[in-house]
Amino acid sequence: MPAFEELLGQNLIKGDSSTSLATIEALASKKAVILYFSAHWCPPCRGFTPKLAEAYKEYKASGGDEAEIIYVSGDRDIDQFKGYFAEMPWVALPYADRELKEKLSKKFKVSGIPSFVLIKQDGTTITTDGRSAVSGDPTGEDFPWIPKSISELLDTTFVGKDGPVAKDALQDKVIALYFSAHWCPPCRGFTPKLVEQYKKMKDAGLPIEIIFASSDREESAFDDYYKEMPWLALPYADRKRKEELSKRFGVNGIPALVFLDKDLSNITTNGRGAIMGDLAEFPFHPKPVGDLAAGPDGLNETLSVVVLAEGADANAQEAAIAAMEPLAKEYKELAKASGEDVEILFFIAKNMEGPVGQIRKLCSVPEATASPRLILLDIPDKGGFYLPDAPLTTDGLRGMLQDYKDKKLERKQFG
């Protein structure tokens, strides 16, 4: 089944809400599709839809035919949907298919509207943060808002200590993007430590390069701050490129350090802690099974297998990790190959720090015992979770996940 049809169903609608179009035919020539999650009851949506419609019509009138918009309705009833969709010149999912709408909202982690998700013809995701692109382009000048690839964003000449440095200097190197600013006290405290660690890495012959992406408020501050740094920098004047990189990696606070592998795939967006650790761990790929107590990255956004093993001995904890690791690696490899987010994450709790106690409370799981406790957390599903009675082995976990996909597990709700 072609990717768009598998993702969006066999039919879309257009015009007066009764004209049915085969999904395959409607999207056959499209290189990208924009899923527009919106609703008539949402004031920001109603304010933006006319601007979006104008940009769409101009795009089509100029001969643009590589992208299509699909309205994914959050309207409260069919009449509201029909009235709102009548304002739109694009296509929509049939309103009656509420299950598909919920499936798409969950898949793309849509938590608010209006929201824009861009997907390629093969069904892989371009970005789930189309809203940022749209917000930065209220007139629709950059429609259809297909973001640049990492390769394109790094296709520039960098500032070096001895003058301009071509992008070829990054060939076969792990890249660390350092988002920082002189006005930020935590940044000024972290930068000297990073300089020291960078020199150690260079002395050890590690293939690493850091690129400073400045959030300084003026170029003179950038110049003064960059004097402390021995690595490369984005040209300060290229504000748009810096903002695109910040958005691409979800940088909401500084200092932040993002590691990219030699093929420019994302290693981690939480490189600050990693780089200050053991250099033998370079290039700091996150462990397949995360430490729940240390900071469960992605837990709130992704289906997660969690083993609570605070009361278990070291042997039992290691056995649990050994059971999860093969599956965790499989899902990470699938995500890397497809360019998608990881479908399922894996965590273990070895102590009661961090969110461990709160998870036990929300899932009504008793205090820790010598036997590890398996939980399947589906927080994106409005706080859902499962307490499967599966063997804590790789095969047992694989079977449990298949039961989840086949809807054979009993869903519970956070208390």
Task: Give the residue-averaged pLDDT of 247-273.
Answer: 90
Torsional sign, CA 38, 42, 44, 46: positive
SS3 of 41, please?
Answer: coil
Q: Which residue has the higher pLDDT, 58 or 206?
A: 206
CATH code, residues 3-147: 3.40.30.10
Q: What's the CA gap between 175 and 153, in Å, rounded? A: 13
Arithmetic mean of pLDDT, 181-206: 96
99, 345, 374 from 95: Cα distances, Å: 10, 32, 38
**What's this model's pTM, rounded to 2 decimal places?**
0.69
Domains 3-147 and 290-413 share a fold: yes
For the residues 121-143, what does the mean pLDDT come to? 69
Two tokens, residue 107: 């898949």
Most confidently predicted of 37-51, 132-146, 173-187, 348-362: 173-187
SS3 per-residue string spanning 79-99: HHHHHHHCCCCCEECCCCCHH
CATH number of 152-281: 3.40.30.10
Q: What's the confidence (pLDDT) of residue 131?
A: 67
Query: Count of residues for the chain?
Result: 415
Element (H, E) at 26: helix 23-26
Q: How far apart are CA 271 and CA 268, in angstroms?
A: 6
**Mean pLDDT across the stretch 225-232?**
98
CA distance 278 to 396: 34
The whole-angstrom separation of Cα 301 and Cα 376 is 13
Q: Is there a contact between 130 and 117 (Cβ–Cβ < 8 Å)?
A: yes
Whole-angstrom Cα distance, residue 402 to residue 410?
13
pLDDT of 121 reads 77
Domain limits, the chain: 3-147, 152-281, 290-413
Q: Measuring CA to CA, how many Å separate 167 from each of 44, 170, 171, 211?
A: 41, 6, 8, 11
Q: Which one of 3.40.50.80, 3.30.360.10, 3.40.190.10, 3.40.30.10 gives the CATH number of domain 290-413?
A: 3.40.30.10
pLDDT at 58: 84
Structure tokens that stand for 352 in this block = 């009661």
Q: Which residues contact 84 (CB under 8 A, 6 or more apart)?
A: 38, 39, 40, 46, 49, 73, 75
